[in-house]
Amino acid sequence: MVSTGPAMRVLIVLHRWWGVAFCLLFAMWFASGIAMHFVPFPARTDAGHFRGLAPINSEEIAHSPAEAIAASGIHDALRVRLIGRSDQPIYLIFGPSEVKALRALDLADGGVHSDRTVLDIAIAYARDRGLDPSHAGIASPITYDQWTVSGEYDSDRPLYRVSLNDSSGTDLYVSSATGSIVVITTRHMRLLNYLGSIAHWIYPTALRHHPQAWSALLWWLALFATIGAGVGFIIGLMRLIATNRNAASPHRGLQAWHYGFGLVCAPFILSWIFSGWLSMDDGRLFSGNATRVDALAIADPTAWNQLRSDEVRRLHAGLKEIEWFAFDGRIYRRDRDMAGAHRLVQAAPEADATSYPRTFLQENEIDAAAKRLGRDCSNASVLDADDPYEVTRITSDEPVFRIVCSDIWFDIDGATGELLNRIDPSRRAYRWLFGGLHTLNFSWLRHPPWLRSILIVVLCGCGFVFSLSGVVLAWQRLRNTVAKG
């Protein structure tokens, strides 16, 4: 038996009762982590948005994008989209913090407020995706539910939920503000997310609807869990040092198994719980990905009045989406045809030599825009697909450019000119401490992709089994305490 001093006895008591409080939570986190790796939470995607669009009917366009901006009241608009909706063409005006929809015919409110219109939009979308909408039904407008409670959908509320009542139990959510399909769920997806993301994030709708309370709860729970795991590792390490390495374990039965397995799994368990705590950082310890000021500087949205009044009369037929965006004091137009192919031209000022049609922005255009940041920046370079500081691309094929300005990196989308990331040293450290440790997001684990999946399943499985041993030990301790009671 290994002797223990007062400090060690305090740590042991803390660890025992900390384990009673947190062992089930640990087991749930490891098990749900496996599920959410394979079935992510439903989210808005560009592919989903584009597939829901109809061909643009040019006969129903009576106003220019500049007029749409003026009518919207968004004077610092960064981009304007003209989309083909099943009922009529719609302008979407995007400012730094809001989106507004206007009808291209008369610049009236482009939101949808009719059940019939919503159902027509959903049915057209379902048919385009090969789904069966013959039994589709619409629910009353909802402010939020389990799948749309995130603040990401605030500009779309209220939402219409359209149930297709098909064999997959498909639900479509339609934005009342824009008429766009913003998220899709199926019965299988919803079930697995209850076992995965919702359990993992402790994400019940009633709690998640209060984001500050939810964030604080998860932050403190994960912090206490990290401290508890650290205390357990310290105890195990001290006993390992105090015990002759060739001698038997100082524990017996399940406790000996818990002790030995805990020492072996400690590096992963500690790093995983710690990095999970960091996932709830939200700017507490690390800088956020704030891009608004820099995005306005790069775009310089003062050139909208240079667009020709007959701009919409110069459009090609067979388009589903047209986007005008401000970049480096110029206005570019991006056309997307029925197949989703891009065609980019500079719409204003026209006299510039770079106005020839192409697919994406060029490096020299990114370099010119970088000068607006007021820093000494390097020339733009195209990110590799396996860049360790990866970004979420708006579409799957566009290049993403990186410019390095001293110790701050900026990632710019080559299709839309959008500033995707502002990465300072703090964000780079966060990428490895969270993305690396928690999701094993390392380039050497991406090829083949199943290697990372196997590793996640094995490590989380070990963590789950280890946590279950803690559950049994906690139950035994509680039962003995009550019996002595």
Would 460 be classed as within a structural domain?
yes
Would 240 be classed as within a structural domain?
yes
Would 281 be classed as within a structural domain?
yes
The number of helix segments (H) and strand segments (E) in the chain equals 14, 14
Would 467 be classed as within a structural domain?
yes
Q: State the pLDDT at residue 385.
A: 81
Q: State the pLDDT at residue 464.
A: 95
Per-residue pLDDT at 2 exceeds 70: no
Return contacts of 371-379, CB within 8 angstroms, 24+ apart. 372/297, 372/298, 372/300, 372/328, 372/329, 373/294, 373/297, 373/298, 373/405, 373/410, 374/297, 375/405, 375/406, 375/408, 376/405, 376/406, 377/403, 377/404, 377/405, 377/410, 378/403, 378/404, 378/405, 379/403
Would 236 be classed as within a structural domain?
yes
Q: Which two tokens mark 129?
A: 């995706």
Number of CB atoms found within 10 A of residue 415's CB:
23
The DSSP output letter for 315 is: P
pLDDT in tens, 427-463: 999 999 999 999 999 988 988 889 999 999 999 999 9
Task: Provide mean pLDDT across the span 134-158.
Answer: 92
CA distance 389 to 383: 9
The structural domain count of the chain equals 1
Q: Which of 12, 8, 34 shows the shortest CA–CA distance to 464?
A: 34
Of 84-93, 172-181, 255-264, give the lowest mean pLDDT range: 255-264
Residue 212 lies in domain: 6-39+206-286+448-478
Q: State the pLDDT at residue 19.
A: 82
Per-residue pLDDT at 36 exceeds 60: yes
b/e code 257-286 from CB counts within 10 Å (16+ = b): bbbeebbebbebbbbbbbbbbbbbbeeeeb
Q: State the pLDDT at residue 188.
A: 96
Q: State the pLDDT at residue 291.
A: 79
Give the helix ranges, DSSP H, for 106-210: 115-128, 187-195, 197-200, 205-208
Q: State the pLDDT at residue 255.
A: 82
More confident residue, 425 or 254: 425
Would 483 be classed as within a structural domain?
no
Q: State the pLDDT at residue 260.
A: 83
Per-residue pLDDT at 341 exceeds 60: yes
Task: Provide mean pLDDT across the span 135-148.
Answer: 90
Q: State the pLDDT at residue 7.
A: 79
Task: Provide mean pLDDT across the span 55-81.
Answer: 93
Per-residue pLDDT at 286 exceeds 80: yes
Would 436 be classed as within a structural domain?
no
Task: Provide mean pLDDT across the span 132-156.
Answer: 92
Q: What is the pLDDT of the chain when averaged over all its residues?
A: 89
Q: State the pLDDT at residue 340.
A: 84
**Which of 131-140, 366-375, 457-466: highest mean pLDDT?**
457-466
Which position has the token pair 């789950």? 464
Per-residue pLDDT at 355 exceeds 80: no
Provide the pairing of β-strand 319-327 with 400-405: unpaired
User: Residue 244's pLDDT band (boundaries 50, 70, 90)?
Assistant: low
Q: State the pLDDT at residue 248.
A: 56
Per-residue pLDDT at 273 exceeds 70: yes
Give the distance, in angstroms, between the CA of residue 245 and the centroid of all CA atoms in the same chain. 47
Per-residue pLDDT at 219 exceeds 70: yes
Q: State the pLDDT at residue 285.
A: 92
Of all residues in the chain, the percent with pLDDT exceeding 90 is 61
pLDDT in tens, 299-333: 988 889 888 888 888 888 889 999 999 999 999 99
Task: Provide mean pLDDT across the span 195-211.
Answer: 95
Per-residue pLDDT at 353 exceeds 80: no
Of all residues in the chain, the percent with pLDDT exceeding 70 is 95
pLDDT in tens, 401-415: 999 999 999 999 999
CA distance 451 to 454: 5
User: Residue 161's pLDDT band (boundaries 50, 70, 90)?
Assistant: very high
Per-residue pLDDT at 264 exceeds 80: yes
Would 466 be classed as within a structural domain?
yes
